[in-house]
Amino acid sequence: MSDPTQPSATPDFLQHDRPPVPDIVVPRGVQPFHLRDRPVRGRLIRLGPLADALLSRHDAHPAVTRMMGEALALTAGLAAALKFRGSFSLQAKGDGAVPMLLADCTDAGALRGYARAAPAKLAEALAAEPEPAAGALLGQGYLAFTCDQGPLMDRYQGIVAIEGATLTEMTEHYFRTSEQLRTFVRLACERTAAGWRAGALIMERVAGAGGIDPDLDDEAQADAWRTALALAATLTPAEMLDDALPGAQVLHRLFGLEGGLELDRPRALSYGCRCSRARLAGVLSGFPADDLDHMADDSGAISMTCEFCNLAFRFDRADVQAVAGRA
């Protein structure tokens, strides 16, 4: 197969081939669970080698890469809690060294993301603090969670101001203020001997009486939730990121002695960039002819780089003009 990032005799609008990116699937990337008769449900997310495949596409500072890995694990975990068809995304926009952070996950578990840095501001942030947290990198702005099910369905979006030093604190602030949902979030991302790894533990306190022991009064339910929080807080980054430690074993370490741990069907995660020549050709065809002329290099070619997978697609200027109907 020819490289789909390069021009070929096939018209661009017919070229839907996946570009040459890693074909990685983590079968048990998300392990949902609940505590029987207790107001607790959650997901353990472990990206395994998928984290390295996604994060190593970009030559970013480790602090930026670490934040991106946490965002990917968080997005996968939040998407897994929803029933939808389409994509679920996390987006943060701020005035800091990283003005844009985006991660999205489809209902099938296809995951992608990127972080756009402002070099001068990043240098200043790193000079002030060698390993700045997410709050210092993003600055002031907003955090948005969006569920997009296509043009025929209403899009749900929740937006809050960025509050907190870490992505964990920002997320908990969102759920506390926008969803009125008691939530526990723990995120981890580090470069290990096997490459970048990322994971998350997300728990929610179940509202209402569904699945809860009817003998548990409000105070007993509150106590069960506090106990789950205390146990979850003992989870270490090493446990979250260790490929040799199965997710089910991690959860049994945390909650097994309490009894009632129920593991639900795991969910696969995969490398999910959805770029193609056809998509980018469609974007280019919407530009005026003068803009296309400015984009073209001396050889008459236009290059576009996918921000998710960092692959450059090359288009012949004349072909783009023909597709746009301006020849």
User: Looking at residue 294, which CATH number applies to its domain?
Assistant: 3.90.1280.10
In the chain, what's the furthest Cα-to-Cα distance? 76
* Residue 267 resides in a domain: yes
* Residue 7 resides in a domain: no
* Residue 4 resides in a domain: no
- 35 shares its domain with 78: yes
Q: Domain containing 251 — which CATH number?
A: 3.55.30.10
The contacts of residue 298 (CB under 8 Å, 6+ apart) are: none
- 76 shares its domain with 119: yes
* Residue 163 resides in a domain: yes
Measured distance CA(146)–CA(71) in Å, rounded? 14
Minimal CA–CA distance to 105: which of 252, 321, 308, 324? 308
- 158 shares its domain with 292: no
- 185 shares its domain with 306: no
| Residue-wise DSSP of 97-126 | S--EEEEEEETT-EEEEEEE--HHHHHHHH
- 85 shares its domain with 38: yes
Per the CB < 8 A criterion, the answer to whether 241 and 199 are in contact is yes
Per the CB < 8 A criterion, the answer to whether 196 and 241 are in contact is no
The residue among 271, 291, 309 that closes a domain is 271
pLDDT for the residue numbered 20: 67
Q: Measured on CA atoms in the order 119, 94, 166, 146, is the torsion positive or negative? A: negative
pLDDT for the residue numbered 311: 80
Tell me which residues of the chain have a pLDDT lower than 70.
1-5, 7-20, 151-152, 208-215, 321-327
* Residue 259 resides in a domain: yes
* Residue 146 resides in a domain: yes
pLDDT for the residue numbered 213: 64
pLDDT for the residue numbered 191: 96
Alpha carbon of residue 170 to chain centroid: 15
Query: Residues 124-171: pLDDT tens digits?
Result: 999 999 899 999 999 999 999 999 887 667 778 899 999 999 999 999
pLDDT for the residue numbered 326: 41
pTM of the model: 0.87
pLDDT for the residue numbered 324: 47
- 216 shares its domain with 126: yes
- 279 shares its domain with 299: yes
pLDDT for the residue numbered 149: 80
Minimal CA–CA distance to 241: which of 193, 184, 190? 190
- 35 shares its domain with 168: yes
- 111 shares its domain with 242: yes
* Residue 3 resides in a domain: no
Measured distance CA(87)–CA(253) in Å, rounded? 32
* Residue 60 resides in a domain: yes
Token pair, residue 66, equals 């670490």
Measured distance CA(292)–CA(301) in Å, rounded? 10
The residue among 271, 288, 303 that closes a domain is 271
The residue among 271, 291, 312 that closes a domain is 271
- For residue 183, the SS3 value is strand
pLDDT for the residue numbered 270: 96
- For residue 263, the SS3 value is strand
In this structure, the strands spanning 87-94 and 141-148 are antiparallel
Q: Measured on CA atoms in the order 122, 123, 125, 130, is the torsion positive or negative? A: positive
pLDDT for the residue numbered 100: 97
Minimal CA–CA distance to 113: which of 311, 307, 313, 312? 307
List phi, psi (to 5°) of 110. Answer: -80, 120
| Number of folded domains that form the chain | 2
Minimal CA–CA distance to 171: which of 137, 204, 198? 204
- 211 shares its domain with 104: yes
- 210 shares its domain with 316: no
254 lies in which domain range? Answer: 25-271
- 74 shares its domain with 108: yes
